[in-house]
Structure 1
Amino acid sequence: MQIRNLTTLLAGGLLLAGNAMADRPGGDWISIEDALSKARAAGYTELHKIEADSDGYWEGEGLKQDGRLYEFRIDGKSGQVIRDQLED
């Protein structure tokens, strides 16, 4: 239930941001819901942020099982997690 609420909140926030967002997902990208699912599959138990990057990625951060903050990058088209590291 918490993840569903987070997805709704994030998607709503992206819609409300409208023209204020400099970077937007491309038309051929995976959806934000799919990106969140990929992050959960990579071990994220709590997601704090996700946004479209101008380089073609979903970028975000969140906590993993160890309670530490990590950042991730997911390819916008393939959905492959290409960065998964501790936040500096």
Structure 2
Amino acid sequence: MLLAGNALADRPGSDWISIEDALSKARTAGYTELHKIEADDEGYWEGEGLKQDGRLYEFHIDGKSGQITRDQLEN
């Protein structure tokens, strides 16, 4: 997997999963190339990247549970 960069807009909470764990969750969800991942002040890791179909998707991963709460095509 290629990772273009880790831009952190906000700071992750002290009780959040690590960025490495969030990246692992994204890979498990089918992301083959990540373009960004950042902490959002609303409690989740937010990112975007490509899946095997070559299309751009956006994802949200809950900062505490690690559950993917959004996984959708970017328009």
Please report the TM-score for the alignment, with normalisation by the length of structure 1.
0.78
Compute the RMSD of aligned alpha carbons.
1.7
1:6-85 superposed matches below 5 A: 6=3, 10=6, 14=8, 21=9, 23-85=10-72
Q: Count how many residue pairs are aligned between Structure 1 and Structure 2.
A: 75
- The structure whose residues are more often helix, as a share, is 1
Pair member with larger Rg? 1
Please report the TM-score for the alignment, with normalisation by the length of structure 2.
0.91
Displacement of 1:33: 0.3
Per-residue CA shift, 1:1-24, capped at 9, x if unaligned? x55xx39x53xx65xxxxxx4x11
Per-residue CA shift, 1:11-60, capped at 9, x if unaligned? xx65xxxxxx4x11000000000000000000000000000001000000
- The structure whose residues are more often strand, as a share, is 2
Equivalents in 2 of 1:38, 1:32: separation in Å?
10
For structure 1, the residue ranges without an aligned partner over 5 or more in a row are 15-20
Give SS of 2:26's match.
helix
Equivalents in 2 of 1:87, 1:60: separation in Å?
11
In percent, how many aligned pairs have the same letter?
80
For structure 2, the residue ranges without an aligned partner over 5 or more in a row are none
Equivalents in 2 of 1:31, 1:87: separation in Å?
25
